[in-house]
Structure 1
Amino acid sequence: MSTFETLIKRGGNEAIKLNPPTGADFHITSRGSDWFWTCFCCYLLFGLILTLLMFRKPVNDRFFYLTGIAPNFFMCIAYFTMASNLGWIPVRAKYNHVQTSTQKEHPGYRQIFYSRYVGWFLALPWPIIQICMLAGTPFWQLAFNVCITEFFTVCWLIAACVHSTYKWGYYTIGLGAAIVVSISVMTTSYNLVKQKANDIRLTFLIFFCIIMFLWIIAYPTCFGITDGGNVLQPDSAGIFYGIIDLILMCFIPTLLVPIINHFGAEKLGYHFGPSDAEAVMAPRSVVASPKPAPTPKLGKDKKKSKKSKKSKKSKKSDE
């Protein structure tokens, strides 16, 4: 057997083989892992593209790129972990929609990826930050929106890990937090964006509607039939979650970066002054040093003072 044929046989996705889902009855297969690897490549690709484009901009214009780079790289790590069949815990399924052969004697345990919710915690605030930047939202209101978004993620993480029906309490509280952020953006931010140009207002409305549809309708539906209700198998759940994640935390942040950069900071109401880095990197003009002041000649001054003293004495003697 040739070396090439040996390498071909060794190739392929061996994540499930190397990291077996021990303790979980309902878990992803190699197909689910392949889908997670696909999502990982998308996040990595868009993150690298934005990073390369960022370094072509001045320092003060790079913040807009950071809002797109951050969610891509955060979700890249999360999907790398899930594709490797890591970052999960077995949770006893409350509902028997997906069953094992011995469901009555040994209730099934479902594979719950807590790494997904960690990725949400780090990446989900950034699309909210971007649409708030379109409106010129004040910092304190922006911080409030980010904190409530993190609260939503924590609630759903606990809901996914809880076995009993109390999970729906955390689920409802988290969904309420998402609605609070939606109201906050639609009132404060929208009132501000109405004072801006029509193109900015239209862009804000389009992306706001897409983000809130995915957050308040698509995500709750997905959770209810996957980690919550145990209706879909983990492979199908991974595809459902993956599509929403790609749209919300990859495509939208990446697309908003050139749009926000096209509008410009001044048009959006942000005024970035020259940074210290730009001051250091800027070429300095050579300034000629001033000529030194001439030093007084002490010898002549002393002679003049002696002559003046002698003249004064001669005048007194004449008198």
Structure 2
Amino acid sequence: MVMLSSSLDHNPPNADRHITPRGSDWLWAVMAIMGLSTLGMVFWQFTRPRGTRFFHNIALIILTTSTICYFVMASDLGATPTRAQFSRGTTGTRQIFFVRYIQWFINFPLILLLLLFATGLSLSDILTTAFFAWVVVVCGLAGALTASSYKWGFFAFGLLALFYIWSTLLGHGPRTTFNAGQGVRSGYVRGSILVALVTALYPIAWGCSEGGNVISPTAEAIWYGILDLILGPIFLYYFLFGLRKVDHSAFGINSGKWSDGAHGGSGSTHGHHNHTGTNMAGTGTTTGTAAPVGARV
């Protein structure tokens, strides 16, 4: 009988408690779904006219990052042994996949940008919310690599940052002006509720795995994998499908090229011209040297 080789045979774990071959198989399956979703997004974005691919490009970055990171984890790479605060029997060290946090460091702010650019929030509010996404991820990684009870201090800081993100998604975001229409607003509300609910499950998973060492690294991989699939292909395709018939110019986003002019390709600006336009925060007229339509501060 021919035995199939596992990634763990080629890259042996260096921690007492680590993923099993079945855990590696699950990670390979998630990687395959992420990879197929990435290819689908590549084809989908090319069906969109140039200048209307902003949301699709962000989704492509998220899916590509997830595909690569899950390849690394399925190969049993990108992990380091860390002494567990709670030994749970004979466990001295636990396998911590730091590459997972690299994935979240890239993807979590981009998911928030994808959502919040559909609202009328200012650019400063959006970037501040994205910053707190980095706080969540960095605190999670620092806590996972900390062997003492100080790890729960990082956990608390991460939770506070999550509360700020939820307040923006569920509080400030829905109350802004949606120039793209009420259909986009209702889609945003559904999407933001989904993101808030799923991100609320990550701290629970962290507390049971890297934090409390209650569940095995294989169970951890399954838990995180399901959550990543929901926030990855499922959420992204659902959100973009809802935007398929929306006039992209209503979002106030253009290419940023000076040669495209203030209206993203519909004209050019020279010297001190008057510009009248609509951004996602409302309507207004700017006279003199004006910022491009849709600019947020």
- Answer yes or no: is 1:174 the counterpart of 2:158: yes
Aligned partner of 1:272 in structure 2 is 254
| TM-score relative to the length of structure 2 | 0.82
Aligned partner of 2:240 in structure 1 is 257
Residue 157 (structure 1) aligned to one of 136, 141, 152:
141
More helix by share: 1
| TM-score relative to the length of structure 1 | 0.76
1:162 partner amino acid: T
Q: Distance in 1 between matches of 2:6 and 2:256?
A: 51
Aligned partner of 2:281 in structure 1 is none
How far residue 26 of structure 1 moved from its aligned partner, in angstroms, is: 0.5
Aligned partner of 1:285 in structure 2 is none
Q: Distance in 2 between matches of 1:133 and 1:34?
A: 37
Please tell me the root mean square deviation across aligned C-alpha atoms, in Å: 2.3
Residue 29 (structure 2) aligned to one of 13, 34, 38:
38
Report Cα offsets for 1:161-211 as digits up to 9, x if no partner: 000000000011011101111112333322115676332222111111110
2:79 partner amino acid: W
How far residue 156 of structure 1 moved from its aligned partner, in angstroms, is: 0.4
Q: Taking structure 1 as reference, are residues 93 and 273 closer, same or farther at Cα in structure 2, changes over 3 Å only?
A: closer
Q: Distance in 2 between matches of 1:54 and 1:195?
A: 23
Q: Distance in 1 between matches of 2:222 and 2:84?
A: 20
Matches within 5 A, 1:1-319: 9=2, 12-22=4-14, 24-97=15-88, 99-100=89-90, 108-193=92-177, 197-216=181-200, 218-267=201-250, 269-272=251-254
Q: Taking structure 1 as reference, are residues 194 and 48 closer, same or farther at Cα in structure 2, changes over 3 Å only?
A: closer
1:266 partner amino acid: S
Unaligned segments of structure 1, at least 5 residues:
101-106, 283-319
CA contact (8 A) 2:180 2:247 kept: no
Q: Distance in 2 between matches of 1:224 and 1:59?
A: 44
Unaligned segments of structure 2, at least 5 residues:
266-297
Alignment size in residue pairs: 262
1:179 partner amino acid: F
Q: Distance in 1 between matches of 2:29 and 2:260?
A: 39
Q: Which gives a bigger RCO, structure 1 or 2 (Cα 8 Å, sep 6+)?
A: 1
How far residue 264 of structure 1 moved from its aligned partner, in angstroms, is: 2.6
CA contact (8 A) 1:126 1:253 kept: no
1:219 partner amino acid: Y
| More deviation, 158-167/122-131 | 122-131
| More deviation, 62-71/25-34 | 62-71
CA contact (8 A) 1:156 1:171 kept: yes
Report Cα offsets for 1:199-233 as digits up to 9, x if no partner: 222211111111011112x1111111111101111
Q: Distance in 2 between matches of 1:264 and 1:147?
A: 29
Q: Distance in 2 between matches of 1:116 and 1:79?
A: 8
2:191 partner amino acid: F
